[in-house]
Amino acid sequence: MSEQPKISEEQEIKQQFNELLELCPRCQSAEAKRLIQKAFELANEAHRGVRRKSGELYILHPLAVARIVADEIGLGAKGVAAALLHDVVEDTDYTLEDIEGIFGKKVADIVDGLTKLEGVFDQTQSKQAENFRKLLLTMVEDIRVILIKLADRLHNMRTLDSMPEHKRLKIAGETLYMYAPLAHRLGLYSIKSELEDLAFKYEHPKIFEEISAKLEDYKDKTQHLITRFSLPIIERLSREGYDFDLKGRPKSIYSIWRKMQRKQIPFEEIYDLLAIRIVFTPKEGIPEKAQCWTIYSLITDIYKPKPDRLRDWVSTPKANGYEALHATLMGPEGNWIEIQIRTERMDEIAEKGFAAHWKYKGANEKESELDNWLQRIREVLDNPDSDSLEFLDDFKLNLFTQEIMLFTPKGDVKVMPKGATALDLAFEIHTELGYKCIGAKVNYKLVPISYELKSGDQVEILTSEKQKPKYDWINFVTTAKAKTRIKDAFKKERKGIIHRGEQKLEEALNEKKLTTNAKILKKLQTYYNLPNKEELYFKIGKGVINLENLNKILSDKTANKWIRYWRLSFGKNNLKGGKKNIGKESKKTQMVVSDDMETEEYIIAPCCNPIPGDDVVGYLDQDDKLILHSRKCPVAIRLMSSQGNRIVSAEWESHKILSFLAVINLSGIDQIGIVSKITKVISEDQTVNMRSIHVESHDGIFEGTIYIYIHNTEDLNNLIFNLMRIKGLHNVTRQERIHGN
């Protein structure tokens, strides 16, 4: 049997282009095909001879992006043409004027939005964040910009293997922090899930492989369950005359891991791994919503539902347009199985997001929700004084993935992010209402402005003409709009106070024959636990910090509160050329963190306290100190997405000298001598030192917490395994102390 002849690169390009035209449902007119052909020819010529890091011809990348845009998102000819041209201005000699002359202003504007900023940046700004800001400025004018950018990011993630480790971490962190939530916000569920899984695969390769293998094994073992569960449903719906498709719904690896982390449970205890989806063609003359409920009713005649797991997004769709009915039912073998019911229209909107709305008449109300969201983004972008990193955080607040639904006294619905307070709602309704807010009535009960609202609450905002905004309100709000409006009210006054504080500090240092520098500022920020120098100057200017103990702070050798925690910091740079090479395009090995180290140079981040064996990533701060974060840490993910050029990939060497504090939670049946059995196992383990144990017993059940000093995760896992063998102990887990976002 002869092998098939290998096609040439030119043939492959032609084949990919032909497939693109076939897969684009909105590009079938002669005019649309001409536009795409012209864009392809220009891009092919502009990128001729250029290759990606993987070795393949560069033109295959824009072709792949255009294919995602056409097939998986559903954009039309102009969107596909812009996707083919998205790197032309940035990487070749063509200018935006050339693109506008050939393809018109609309396509040129989209390409401009997708082109990264050039030129010198203020060193205090983040290039990553500035580029993102530019992308969003164009997005609020044309949503296609962000849809193409998401397609570009998806293809980059699919081909990330060819990048060096530190670049992979930067791109994966940025994807998890910004692009996956963006895809979710725009209703692109399949793209969001794939982005999350790919980012997770590069950030935590071992955990990804473990969960992936368990999921495959679980699917094999439970396939007969799904079949047995589905057959009576198929039979009943067919008898009722429904035209439908029933299939398994794959749960993403990242969402499984998130649930394991959030609920502190093992893989085996996640009960919504089994899920099926029913997508049906609605019968004519009956509202879609009514038909969804009819199908739900038919299924609950067969299986009993779990009352607290009914999710009705048919009556009130999510803010990103998602509609479906979710229920969890008890299967034939005592397993909970989730079922999702949706029409073909709902299914397409769930997969392709807002792009799919364009196909359906009467879906204008969903478009207006998108417009509301874009308006909120505009308001954040319109704040000229916020620096790029502050902007990035404010924007992130607008990417809420979980929403709550609130009602005004007149019954109008307001959608807000989960965690929003009464003050957030006041600012959402109107800026002046926020400034005058003194409290609220929630479900007719009086509550303070800091009260956290819950879905379904009816809220009446209370105001007073005497009320004036206070700067500490910023601690009571979660939305970007509210934070921006509070900052606006104090902008001028705050600038004056900051300037006064800067002068006060300068005068105090001059008396000691010192001048302000980064090291002194860092010591003061750390001592007073402040996030930046502006906050330090502000507190000095306000008189909150009086500088009387300046001598003591500056002479404190520990220099950093973080080190006091363990009086440990460590690291060993095995890169040639030292730290100057970090973050550059040089060939690099991983930085190995080991026992023989200089104490002042490496710090364990207090927000996540990684111990040897945990997946870690290094971040170089302004003083060139390497700070080690757990890769799971929200702070680390934020740094990778905004300060990617300062990220260093790191790994542990085996530690048998230094000890690290770890916390174990345990629970079980209370019985005589259980505590002595636990302490016996710990004392017999030569690799562990116990610092303290705290146990509480109630109604025959006990719960306890043990603080131990451990060398690495391997020793910790061995200890947990030995504790689990004690009769009566039901649950033993490590408590991962990850804080902050």
Active site residues: 90-91
Rounded Cα distance between 652 and 203, Å, is 15
Q: How many CB atoms lie within 10 A of CB 652?
A: 18
Is residue 69 classed as helix, strand or coil in its secondary structure? Answer: helix
Rounded Cα distance between 192 and 154, Å, is 9
Q: How many CB atoms lie within 10 A of CB 311?
A: 13
Report residue 570: phi and psi, to 5°: -160, 170
Report residue 613: phi and psi, to 5°: 105, -25
In angstroms, how far is CA 326 from the centroid of its own chain?
24
Give the helix ranges, DSSP H, for 301-363.
Answer: 344-352, 354-357
- Asked if 61 contacts 52 with a C-beta cutoff of 8 angstroms, the reply is yes
User: What Rg value do the Cα atoms of the chain yield, rounded?
Assistant: 29
Nearest to 730 by CA among 412, 287, 265: 265
Residues 6 or more apart whose CB falls under 8 angstroms from that of 206 comprise: 615
Report residue 626: phi and psi, to 5°: -90, 120
Rounded Cα distance between 353 and 116, Å, is 25
Report residue 699: phi and psi, to 5°: 50, 40
- Asked if 523 contacts 559 with a C-beta cutoff of 8 angstroms, the reply is yes
Q: What is the sign, positive or negative, of the torsion defined by CA atoms of 204, 209, 215, 219?
A: positive
In angstroms, how far is CA 474 from the centroid of its own chain?
23
**For residues 318-335, b (16+ Cβ closer than 10 Å) or e, as one string?**
bbbbbbbbbbbbebeeee
Concatenate the DSSP letters of all residues of 623-678 into one string. T--EEEEETT-HHHHHHHHH-GGGEEEEEEPP-SSS-EEEEEEEEEE--TTHHHHH
Nearest to 462 by CA among 409, 499, 536: 409
- Asked if 256 contacts 270 with a C-beta cutoff of 8 angstroms, the reply is yes
Q: What is the DSSP letter of 175?
A: I
Q: What is the DSSP letter of 696?
A: E
Maximal CA-CA distance, the chain: 90
Task: List strands edge to edge, sheet with 336-343.
Answer: 243-248, 275-281, 336-343, 325-330, 311-312
Surface-to-core class of residue 192, CB atoms within 10 Å of its CB (0-12 exposed, 13-18 middle, 19+ buried): buried
Nearest to 740 by CA among 365, 473, 393: 393
CA distances from 698 to 264, 695, 732 (A): 22, 10, 18
Is residue 467 classed as helix, strand or coil in its secondary structure? Answer: coil
- Asked if 493 contacts 528 with a C-beta cutoff of 8 angstroms, the reply is no
In angstroms, how far is CA 288 from the centroid of its own chain?
33
Concatenate the DSSP letters of all residues of 580-637 into one string. GGTTSSS---PEEE-SS--TTTEEE-TTT---BTB-EEEEE-TT--EEEEETT-HHHH
